[in-house]
Structure 1
Amino acid sequence: MTEPLRVIEICAGAGGQALGLEKAGFEHELAIELDQNAVNTLRYNRPDWKVAQGDVADLSVWDPADYAPGPDRRPIDLLAGGVPCPPFTIAGKQLGATDERDLFAWAVEQVKTVQPRALLLENVRGLSMPRFAGYRQHVLDRLREFGYAAEWRLLHASDYGVPQLRPRFVLVAMAPEDFAHFHWPEPIGKAPTVGETLLPLVSANGWKGAERWAEEANDIAPTIVGGSKKHGGADLGPTRAKRAWAEMGVDALGVANHAPNPEDEFLVGPKLTCEMVARIQGWDDKEFRWIFTGKKTSNYRQIGNAFPPPVAKALGVAIAVALNHTAERRERDLETAHDPIYRVLRDKGDFMTAAQIARAIKLPLEPHELERRISLLGRDFHIEISNGKAPAAYKLGQFKAFLGQEDHIRHDQFEHYRAKIS
């Protein structure tokens, strides 16, 4: 019999990705999570798992070297995680590499140490935007240096049976011989509507308006936003999302303690309970059954910040099939240039003028466009600019992201904001 596939999960949250990967056949070697409430939920649902609580980049919490392959230790099959989203979210400042919460580049660096057979990292759609082209290119190039083939893909939860749009930007990497067998999971069909999904829960207390409400709530949900400790109590998202919820008869200004009572009437519609929000995230009372511990606001944040279990399962199955070479092999061209300007500056290692850059990337660049793209690069990388009598020239410097450096500013910032990081 083949040995089970083993996973280490970083930034595990309350278990959305963990549960999905478990259903795909992975066994957790270790799960690491900062938030104590989420850790409590993980330990309650899976008391036999090894769960470490604390900063995932703190070697006293876990040491990646302890999980590297050795003479008597086979490689970990999957390193997975949903590292913090605020550095990349469109609704935020998009500080990227200079955000103290950014762990994406750090997570990629752990591949060199752990040497997993596969890597799975997910984040918000914002990471797919032009703002982070250089950041993405750096990630792909580093993985290639480590001997991995990698690819990004924007996935929508609604394509995998989850009644919510929830776009997530996913990175998968493996050794080339394994990646040749990897196929992104195919959509399974139209997702159920909010009304279809929540009718059993909304009508649990005998609310007389439940059937009519369910008929009107005939669309999938906006993306659930879990929020963070920097903000107030739980609600269902920003203004635009609240309007979309209102059109489906849901009051998004908070979370209810219980389902509507028989005679309840609403100006907009009922508020959702945490159980209802969890159902919209893909948890159910059958395959993806899960219990959340703690108080209501904490429960909501745990649910809202999670990766939907059905999507995690679909990805887990696709990765497992690739690692086992039970899917059809296909040749793929993975040399995607997310940021050709970054690539030529990195390869040159010296100053380049605009004309030299344009020739190297074989594309004409207007001066203002080059300046704009250099400016974007400069938010995540140090850029030196030479201004002499000759035309301005640019040189790519160090990546600003935290990669594990002992003297990185991230350490002081993290400790300063630790109580508000989620």
Structure 2
Amino acid sequence: MKSIELFAGAGGLALGVEAAGFENVALYEWNHNACDTLRRNRTQHGWEVVEGDVADQDFRPFRDEIDLVTGGPPCQPFSMGGKHKAQNDKRDMFPQAVRVVRDIRPKAFIFENVKGLTRRSFANYFSYIRLQFSYPTITAKRGEEWMSHLARLEALDSKCSFRGLTYKVIPRLFNSALYGAGPGVPQRRERVFFVGVRSDLGLEVNLPTEETHSVDALLHDQWVSNVYWHRHKLKVPTVPEKLARKVERLQDYNRDMLGTACRTVRDAISDLPNVGPGRRSRSIPNHFFNPGARSYAGHTGSPYDQPAKTLKAGDHGVPGGENTLQFADGSVRYFSIRECARLQTFPDDWIIEGSWTEGMRQLGNAVPVKLAQLVAESVAGTLKKAGNV
């Protein structure tokens, strides 16, 4: 099964798609540092990396030759931390994503973005994105405003009689701490996915509905059986007062019924050495600690024994209080780039190129590899079962 990725960034989605059984034919990305990251690591994957604006590329030669098109259009127009301009932001690349689907006619597509896209103020544009993917050949007329185009698409959708190129599209919001392949994702990162399958294939879009990982299972391991602390060779701490009632309720639960525990920051990074502020590990790539971390009101670090908070890219550099580890005594330090890569479930041999700020930006914009894999596996399974690949 062949795939093409747009807006590839540091490669999180591409790695997940590859792990699900797809062959990435080409990755398109405009950011030079992200392209350096992809090129640095491509020898082990054989990917073609195309540096440049997707809007300048002709994808028609790939028509009917590609099974899957994927990508993460720039999230700044919809990010909770951004300027919230959505369709009025020149960085909105969803129209280009639709164009590529129209030109290639893949069997399926996967596009992902930030949770902010689902907020109420973007409701109409969210519907507009879904309907454009559903009817990619019904384009806006010259000079037509997007709301007028949306109205035409809604009218067409209500008739259910269009016989041209269409896709069955499912939008779904996933919390990566609760949904992830294999060991899971040690980060509470929420991403919205638009997943579509070409209508003429007669297939249904089947996305994961059952959580793969459980917060209750983690709490049981920590505060009921204490196996979490024993595994990390730590003294069992006192149950936090705010969790006391929930822990008491969990006493009556059969642990086997709770499923797989969510992963924590400690689970992900505790085996990495503490190299000290301003120092770099000689044996582990991208592992060095920048000094100067501190918390801000509403922007505190990630507790060591919970899934991490959402890593952020920052508009003008690394967010001061966001990409930090918070210890039990309240002190914080910045995560290293390697630690952030682990929180995003990149493999340890995946090297991030660029400065510390640029590396953190790439990882702050990435989709967790294991979340991408879970979603891509559902698409791969759909196509394989129907014998369409």
Quickly name the TM-score band, shorter chain normalised: 0.5 to 0.7
Q: 335, 345, 363: which one pairs with 1:303? A: 363
Does structure 2 conserve the Cα–Cα contact (< 8 Å) formed by 1:178 and 1:322?
Answer: no
Match of 2:204 in 1: 180
Match of 1:271 in 2: 334
By how many angstroms is 1:267 displaced?
Answer: 7.4
Match of 1:67 in 2: 62
**C-alpha separation between the residues in 2 aligned to 1:128 and 1:324?**
31
Change (3 A) 1:201 1:185: farther
**C-alpha separation between the residues in 1 aligned to 2:210 and 2:320?**
29
Does structure 2 conserve the Cα–Cα contact (< 8 Å) formed by 1:41 and 1:292?
Answer: yes
The answer to whether 1:290 aligns with 2:373 is no
**C-alpha separation between the residues in 2 aligned to 1:276 and 1:92?**
25
The answer to whether 1:42 aligns with 2:38 is yes
Match of 1:417 in 2: none
Q: Tell me the alpha carbon deviations over residues 220-247 of structure 1, each in whole angstroms, 9 at most, x when there is no partner.
A: 111000124xx1x32465xxx47xx56x
By how many angstroms is 1:178 displaced?
Answer: 5.2
Question: What secondary structure sits across from 1:311 in the alignment?
Answer: helix
Q: 171, 176, 179: which one pairs with 1:152? A: 171
Q: 207, 215, 218: which one pairs with 2:305? A: 218
Does structure 2 conserve the Cα–Cα contact (< 8 Å) formed by 1:43 and 1:51?
Answer: yes
Q: Which runs of 5+ in 2 are unaligned?
A: 136-164, 214-260, 277-302
Match of 1:168 in 2: 191
Matches within 5 A, 1:6-405: 6-47=2-43, 48-58=46-56, 62-69=57-64, 75-145=65-135, 146-159=165-178, 160=180, 161-176=184-199, 177=201, 179-180=203-204, 182-184=206-208, 186-189=210-213, 190-203=261-274, 217-228=304-315, 231=316, 233-235=317-319, 241=322, 248-249=326-327, 268-285=331-348, 289-325=349-385
By how many angstroms is 1:218 displaced?
Answer: 1.2
**C-alpha separation between the residues in 2 aligned to 1:273 and 1:121?**
28
Size of the alignment, in residue pairs? 279
By how many angstroms is 1:123 displaced?
Answer: 0.4
- TM-score normalised over the length of structure 2: 0.67
1:34 maps to amino acid: W
Question: What secondary structure sits across from 2:374 in the alignment?
Answer: helix
Question: What secondary structure sits across from 1:191 in the alignment?
Answer: coil
By how many angstroms is 1:21 displaced?
Answer: 0.8
Question: What secondary structure sits across from 2:16 in the alignment?
Answer: helix
Q: Which runs of 5+ in 1 are unaligned?
A: 70-74, 206-215, 251-265, 328-422
**C-alpha separation between the residues in 1 aligned to 2:59 and 2:320?**
36
**C-alpha separation between the residues in 2 aligned to 1:298 and 1:152?**
30
Which of the pair has more CA radius of gyration? 1
**C-alpha separation between the residues in 2 aligned to 1:41 and 1:312?**
19
**C-alpha separation between the residues in 1 aligned to 2:312 and 2:34?**
16
**C-alpha separation between the residues in 2 aligned to 1:181 and 1:82?**
19
Change (3 A) 1:30 1:178: farther
Give the CA RMSD over aligned residues. 2.4
Change (3 A) 1:169 1:236: farther
Change (3 A) 1:203 1:93: closer
By how many angstroms is 1:141 displaced?
Answer: 2.5
- Aligned-residue sequence identity (percent) comes to 35
Change (3 A) 1:155 1:120: same
1:94 maps to amino acid: H
